[in-house]
Amino acid sequence: MNRINYLFQNKNKDLLSIYVTAGFPKLEDTLPVLEAIQEGGADLIEIGLPYSDPIADGPTIQESNAIALENGMSIKKLFSQLLGFRAKIHVPVILMGYLNPIIQFGVEEFCKKCKEVGIDGLILPDLPMSHYLEEYKEIFERYGLFNIFLISPQTSEARIREIDRYSQGFIYMVSSHAITGAKSAISEEQEQYFERIAAMNLNHPRLIGFGISDAATFQLASRYSNGAIMGSAFIKKIKDSKELKQDIKNFLSEVRG
Amino acid sequence: METIKGKRMIQVDERGFYGKFGGAYVPEMLYPNVEELRENWETIVSRSDFQEEFQGLLRDFVGRPTPLYFAARLSESFGAKIYLKREDLCHTGAHKVNNTVGQIILAKKLGKKRIIAETGAGQHGVATATVCALMGMDCTIYMGELDIKRQRPNVERMRILGAKVVPAVSGSKTLKDATNEAMRAWITDPVGTHYIIGSVVGPHPYPEMVARFQSVISEEIKRQLLAKEGRENPDLVIACVGGGSNAAGAFYHYYNQPSVRLIAAEAAGLGIHSGKSAATSVLGTPGILHGSKTLLMQTEDGQVVEPHSISAGLDYPGIGPVHAHLHDIGRAEFVAVEDENAMQAGILLSRTEGIIPAIETAHAIHALHQISYRPSDLIVINLSGRGDKDLETYIQWGNY
Ligand SMILES: Cc1ncc(COP(=O)(O)O)c(C=O)c1O
């Protein structure tokens, strides 16, 4: 069974997913960071594939992408780092990135490598549903990779139902009209949106991401969903960290409250 | 809009593809916006109320039709019959305004309150700020920090017109990064904002929509050439290509006339293989940028390469999907013109015809040196813009 499904079968409240850019803050930090995130009690990990033009990302993740690329991170390099990582990391791991580097790597080859090292799913913000269904679905499924779809406050009910139909694992709820980036609070309007989606009784669980920055926003988001995803706030925390393991542990325990 | 008779070789399909290129690779957050446009633009644009307003503004505000001018001394110097399509005489100084007039009327009809745009040379930014002032709409322009420095006069023009100019500080700090910023801004206000993309790039339906608004260029060339030469079709049409909007406009009604050679002049920068170039048709490989699959300058790892051109408007690592397709099927000939040669062509045009061209446009002039043609050939060069905005670059280059 895909680790993502296994996770949701065993736990469906207060799930915490952490996003980190591969090869950040230093090239060889990928694995130690994954280990620390798992030790800190995260339920799921998203590894960002750095890209030169991340149009859905705010300044923090733009910068971590740029730094990772400068460090020499690439898809090839990441797969070499991940070889054998399942000996230590048992939480579900999802790769999050933009389509172009994957196309250049070769979509089939990419999926094959994902399966080899033990990746469970993909989040590709610039792969819309129609292109996914036409060109990618079959390949992803052949290698057991879940494609995680995004929805936003603008997504129509009909489209959410369609996304729910084609989703695997969970649905990624973008918390507001936003690119990634830590915000300080969640507005009433956002809560209404969370409520509206919760009331739809979708087939798939939902994690809320973008703008989840601390224990308060994590708890609030979790009240209306199965949990939340943190990216920018985590990236900020580790950017200049001298004590990666300790800082990551502290971050996670603060969020868990 | 007129339809082209006979078989259409160059046509966008339902999914937004020209052959292998195009599509709409946008994040879900932008899906409703792009879908709203896709569903509505053709209907709105073909309505008589739209056409009346659009044609009226093109005539009375932009100053269309622009002249098709027989360049006698330039013709003599190159040994062919050369006409210049005078887009430089459009209000605001370049072809860009044809598109912004069209898109702002569309935005209004879609009930949008706020306009955002990216700009490279600043011409599209100025053209956008201008129509926003005209319509009383709120306007924010994203511009690379480097371009803000090298296109100062246009930055101030935008501000005078009441637009807010926001610097893009990531990457190469040029057009590509300004486009990224504009897309991000659009994600954060999807309901009230319309994004006026300035070239035939971006997700479907932008490339086709912008081309359609620019197609007035070749529509007029046909009519004007018929009156002056007794024929609608020249032997060659030459245009520079950044994203490719002036070229798409100049080529549009000739796509399916195989007797008309289409010449696209790209920026070779310091030399195609110098590492400082924007010659996408040579250096590019298929990839995805700004929502469409096209030819793209990129590393083996699929990271976008930072381009270089002396002209900010050509300093872009991709080309519109329609041009990638024209290149792919061999319908257009692509030439890459180096910075130095473009500058010299700018001086040549200034001294033979009394027209200081935009440096983008100067690439199209120099292309004549890099292609073959016969003395009997009738050539139309699309003079996409005037050089006022580039005075500082001309002065710094200094070789005149
Ligand atoms: C005068 C002029 N010509 C050409 C261009 C390039 O754009 P496009 O290739 O879309 O015509 C620009 C862009 O700023 C411009 O200002």
Note whether B170 contacts A99, CB cutoff 8 Å: no
Closest C-alpha residue for ligand 1 atom 13 = B313
Note whether A69 contacts B288, CB cutoff 8 Å: no
Looking at residue B151, its pLDDT comes to: 86
SS3 state at A196: helix
Interface of A with B (CB under 8 A): 51-58, 62, 66, 69, 74-76, 98-105, 125-131, 149-152, 154-156, 159, 174, 177-179
Report d(CA A117, CA B55) in Å as an integer: 60
A246 to chain B, minimum CA–CA distance in Å?
A: 31
Domain ranges of chain A: 3-250
Indicate the residue of A54, A102, A178 with minimum beta-carbon distance to B188. Answer: A178
Angle at B93 between CA B231 and CA B255, to 5 degrees: 35
pLDDT tens digits, residue range B212-244? 999 999 999 999 999 999 999 999 999 999 999
Torsion over CA of A219, A222, A224 and A228, rounded to 10 degrees?
Answer: 120
pLDDT tens digits, residue range B111-149? 999 999 999 989 999 999 999 999 999 999 999 998 998
B276 and B309 Cβ atoms separated by less than 8 Å = no
Report d(CA B185, CA B98) in Å as an integer: 24
Note whether A55 contacts B180, CB cutoff 8 Å: yes
Looking at residue A185, its pLDDT comes to: 87
Closest C-alpha residue for ligand 1 atom 14 = B313
Point out the ligand 1 atom lying closest to the alpha carbon of residue B198: 10
Task: Name chain B contacts of A125, Cβ cutoff 8 Å.
Answer: 27-28
Report d(CA B350, CA B66) in Å as an integer: 19
Length of chain B, in residues: 400
List the CATH code of the domain at A3-250: 3.20.20.70
Looking at residue B235, its pLDDT comes to: 98
Q: What is the number of CB-based contacts under 8 A between chain A and chain B?
A: 110
Note whether B190 contacts A66, CB cutoff 8 Å: no
Place of tokens 């081309």: B211
pLDDT tens digits, residue range B156-187? 999 999 999 999 998 888 899 999 999 999 99
Note whether B29 contacts A152, CB cutoff 8 Å: yes
Ligand 1 within 6 A of CB of B280: no
**The pLDDT of residue B85 is above 70:** yes
B97 and B62 Cβ atoms separated by less than 8 Å = yes
Looking at residue B1, its pLDDT comes to: 36
Closest C-alpha residue for ligand 1 atom 12 = B313
**The pLDDT of residue B6 is above 50:** no
Report d(CA B36, CA B22) in Å as an integer: 18
For chain B, the maximum distance between any two Cα atoms, rounded to a whole number of angstroms, is: 55
Task: Name chain B contacts of A65, Cβ cutoff 8 Å.
Answer: none
Looking at residue A49, its pLDDT comes to: 98
Q: Where are any strands of DSSP class E within A72-214?
A: 93-96, 121-123, 146-147, 150-151, 171-174, 206-209
| pLDDT by 10s per residue, chain A, length 257 | 899 999 999 999 999 999 999 999 999 999 999 999 999 999 999 999 999 999 999 999 999 999 999 999 999 999 999 999 999 999 999 999 999 999 999 999 999 999 999 999 999 999 999 999 999 999 999 999 999 999 999 999 999 999 999 999 999 999 998 889 867 789 999 999 999 999 999 999 999 999 999 999 999 999 999 999 999 999 999 999 999 999 999 999 999 98
Looking at residue B8, its pLDDT comes to: 59
**ipTM of the prediction:** 0.94
Report d(CA B400, CA B398) in Å as an integer: 6
Task: Name chain A contacts of B300, Cβ cutoff 8 Å.
Answer: 104
Indicate the residue of B15, B170, B296 with minimum beta-carbon distance to A62. Answer: B170
Task: Name chain A contacts of B16, Cβ cutoff 8 Å.
Answer: none
Ligand 1 within 6 A of CB of B179: no
Q: Looking at chain B, which residue has its C-alpha nearest residue A66?
A: B171
pLDDT tens digits, residue range B352-378? 999 999 999 999 999 999 999 999 999
Ligand 1 within 6 A of CB of B278: no
Indicate the residue of B23, B170, B301 with minimum beta-carbon distance to A74. Answer: B301
Q: Looking at chain B, which residue has its C-alpha nearest residue A56?
A: B184
**The pLDDT of residue B5 is above 50:** no
Point out the ligand 1 atom lying closest to the alpha carbon of residue B175: 14
Per-residue pLDDT averaged across B49-54, rounded?
Answer: 98
A65 and A235 Cβ atoms separated by less than 8 Å = no
Mark whether A46 is an active-site residue. Answer: yes
Any bridge partners for residue B194, and if so which? B115
Indicate the residue of B27, B289, B290 with minimum beta-carbon distance to A125. Answer: B27
**Cα B91 to averaged position of ligand 1 atoms, centre (Å):** 15
Indicate the residue of B28, B189, B300 with minimum beta-carbon distance to A152. Answer: B28
Query: How many H-runs (helices) and E-runs (strands) does chain A carry?
Result: 13, 9
At A110, which amino acid appears?
F
B118: nearest Cα among B96, B99, B144: B144
Q: Please state, rounded to an integer, the average pLDDT across all residues of chain B.
A: 95
Task: Name chain B contacts of A56, Cβ cutoff 8 Å.
Answer: 27, 29, 184, 187
pLDDT tens digits, residue range B307-350? 999 999 999 999 999 999 999 999 999 999 999 999 999 999 99
**The pLDDT of residue B248 is above 70:** yes
Mark whether B96 is an active-site residue. Answer: yes
Look up the pTM and report it: 0.96
Mark whether B384 is an active-site residue. Answer: yes
Looking at residue B3, its pLDDT comes to: 41
Give DSSP secondary structure letters for B294-308.
Answer: EEE-B-TTSPBPPP-
**Cα B26 to averaged position of ligand 1 atoms, centre (Å):** 24
Burial status of residue B293 (CB atoms within 10 A of its CB: 0-12, 13-18, 19 or more): buried
Question: Six-digit token pair at B148?
Answer: 């803000």
If one residue of B99, B176, B360 were mutated to test the ligand 1 pocket, choosing by the most ligand atoms within 8 A of its CB, it would be B360
Note whether A66 contacts B170, CB cutoff 8 Å: yes
Q: Is B192 an 8 Å CB contact of chain A? A: no
N-to-C CA span, chain B: 44
**Cα B371 to averaged position of ligand 1 atoms, centre (Å):** 21
Put the strands of the sheet holding B261-269 in their side by side order: B68-70, B81-85, B378-382, B236-240, B261-269, B332-338
Closest C-alpha residue for ligand 1 atom 16 = B123
Looking at residue A182, its pLDDT comes to: 65
Question: Six-digit token pair at A252?
Answer: 């996670």
Ligand 1 within 6 A of CB of B246: yes
Q: What proportion of chain B, given as a percentage, has pLDDT over 70?
A: 98
Q: Is B31 an 8 Å CB contact of chain A? A: yes
Q: Is B25 an 8 Å CB contact of chain A? A: yes
A49 to chain B, minimum CA–CA distance in Å?
A: 11
